[in-house]
Amino acid sequence: MWDLIIIGAGPAGITASVYAVRKRMNVLVITKDIGGQAAWSGDIENYTGYQFITGPELAIKFEEHMRKYNIQLKENEEVKEIIRKNNEIFVNTNRSAYQTKTAIIASGKRSKELSVPGEEEFKNRGLTYCATCDGPLFAEKDVAVIGGGNSALDATLQLINIARHIYLINVTAELGGDAVMKDKVTNNAKVSILNNTKVTAIIGDRMVTAIKIKKQNKEETLAVQGIFVEIGLIPNSEFTKELERNENGEIKVNSYNETNIAGIFAAGDVTNIPEKQIIIAAGEGAKAALSAFRYLATHK
């Protein structure tokens, strides 16, 4: 019987684990991977204490901090169900089953898919969802980045130093995201911005060779060797069937990170907090751990 099980090891989950173990709680972390979305990010210039650090570097710092405390960790394990029964919480995974007094869900989000012809066929064959992971594979090649928010802008900025040319394909009338990032993208000669443009298909042989687009009822085919999908994220909350979620699938929490089920807390991008930032996720993880500690102190 654990005092606390934390699901996820991104900024929220790792911070929660550090706070919890320092409160002398008996903690288990269950996660598919370590670092979460932070590990996918490019250059980070707004995480306090680091004027500049890359996403993978920051994720390594998080992991080093967590491992300093010898926190019990189950990696490459996926949670399938979390339920509360008879004042105990049961966490069932693809490998085992665990019991705990409290739980924090910090499972983050994953990339949305395009749902167009050719997407499934060319995954990892020229089509990817992570510029940080796969960008170096496309050196001096023509590529397309699909999306118009911060994720797409970040991917484009990373690829400017790698690819030959980048088509930034955005379905809305203008780019969103941070003004500084937009300025850097729009003022770079290696980037062609295609607003009001929809992707209709991915084309290739063994690997991606082109992308079909539609703009104002006019169809066009762009020759590209790489495609980066950056159209948003979906919360990893499917296993939380008993918890209250909003229309986007995000877990609803109050200011104490409490869900609608006693003893189960949630933190980070999987929740309905209004802003999705690394530093906010870390802060929410700290709050959730302190709330779990308070719950244990006030409940039998």
Q: b/e for 144-164, b at 16 or more Cβ within 10 A? A: bbbbbbbbbbbbbbbbbebbe
Residue type, 214: K
pLDDT-derived band at 144 (thresholds 50, 70, 90) equals: very high
Q: Is 133 part of the annotated catalytic residue set?
A: yes
- 134, 142, 183, 205: which is the annotated catalytic residue? 134
Q: Is the pLDDT assigned to residue 37 strictly greater than 90? A: no
Q: Is the pLDDT assigned to residue 171 strictly greater than 90? A: yes
What confidence tens digit (pLDDT) does each residue in 53-64 have? 988 999 999 999
Q: Is 33 part of the annotated catalytic residue set?
A: no
pLDDT-derived band at 45 (thresholds 50, 70, 90) equals: confident
What confidence tens digit (pLDDT) does each residue in 100-123 have? 999 999 999 998 999 999 999 999
Quote the CA–CA distance of 11 and 154 in Å, as a whole number.
19
pLDDT of residue 275: 86
Domains, the chain, with CATH or none: 2-110+233-298 (3.50.50.60), 113-229 (3.50.50.60)
- Percentage above 70 pLDDT, the chain: 100
What confidence tens digit (pLDDT) does each residue in 76-87 have? 999 999 999 988
262 is written with which tokens? 């006693």
Q: Is 205 part of the annotated catalytic residue set?
A: no
- 3, 33, 43, 133: which is the annotated catalytic residue? 133
What confidence tens digit (pLDDT) does each residue in 224-254 have? 999 999 998 899 999 999 999 999 999 999 9
pLDDT-derived band at 174 (thresholds 50, 70, 90) equals: very high
Quote the CA–CA distance of 238 and 216 in Å, as a whole number.
37
Q: Using an 8 Å Cβ cutoff, are 47 and 279 in contact? A: yes
pLDDT of residue 85: 93
Which is more confidently placed, 81 or 131? 81
- Residue 194, beta-bridge partner list: 169
Return the closest-CA partner of residue 230 out of 283, 153, 286.
153
Quote the CA–CA distance of 40 and 42 in Å, as a whole number.
7
- 3, 33, 43, 130: which is the annotated catalytic residue? 130
Which is more confidently placed, 239 or 42? 239
pLDDT of residue 225: 97
